[in-house]
A = this chain, B = another copy of it.
Amino acid sequence: MAEKRFIIKKEDTQTLARVGKMRTAHGIFNTPAFMPVGTRATVKTCTPHELKGIGAEIILSNTYHLYLRPGHDIVKQAGGLHKFMCWKGPILTDSGGYQVYSLSPLRSISEEGVSFRSQIDGRKHFISPEKAIEIQNALGADIIMIFDECTPYPSDYEYAKNSMELTLRWAERCKKAHKNPHQLLFGITQGCVYKDLRKKSVEATVALDFPGYAVGGISVGENKELTYEILAYTTPLLPKEKPRYLMGVGRPEDIVYGVSCGIDMFDCVLPTRNARNGAMFTSSGIVKIRNAKYKTDFTPLDPNCNCYTCQNFTRAYLRHLHIENEILAHRLHTLHNLYFYLNLMRGIRQAILNNTFAKLKDDINALVSLGALNSPDGTKQRL
Q: Is the CB of B74 within 8 A of A316?
A: yes
Task: Report yes or no: A327 in contact with B330, Cβ–Cβ below 8 A.
Answer: yes
Contact with B along A324-335 (1 / 0, CB 8 A): 101110111000
Q: Mark A7-48, 1 if CB is under 8 A from B, else 0.
A: 000000000000000000000000000000000111011111
A69 / chain B contacts, CB cutoff of 8 Å: 320, 323-324
- Interchain CA distance A327-B273 in the complex, whole Å: 13
**A55 CB to nearest B CB, Å:** 19
Indicate if the CB atoms of B40 and A320 lie closer than 8 Å.
Answer: yes
Known: A45-B327, A78-B316. 16 other contacts (CB 8 A): A41-B320, A42-B324, A44-B328, A45-B328, A47-B328, A70-B316, A70-B323, A74-B296, A78-B298, A78-B314, A84-B314, A84-B316, A84-B320, A85-B317, A86-B313, A86-B317
B78 touches A326 (CB 8 A): no
Q: Which of chain B's residues have a CB closer than 8 A to the CB of A41?
A: 317, 320
Q: A268 interface residue, CB < 8 Å from B?
A: no
Chain B: CB-nearest residue to A65: B324
A79 to B86 alpha-carbon distance, docked (Å): 39
Interfacial chain B residues near A70, Cβ < 8 Å? 295, 316, 319-320, 323
With most chain B CB atoms within 10 A of its CB, the pick from A79, A84, A86, A327 is: A327
On chain A, the number of residues with a Cβ less than 8 Å from chain B's Cβ atoms is 38
Cβ of A40 and Cβ of B326 under 8 Å apart? Answer: yes
Please report the C-alpha to C-alpha distance between residue A42 and residue B84 in the assembled complex, in whole angstroms: 30
A314: nearest chain-B partner, CB-CB: B78
The answer for the CA separation of A49 and B46 in the assembled complex, in Å, is 15
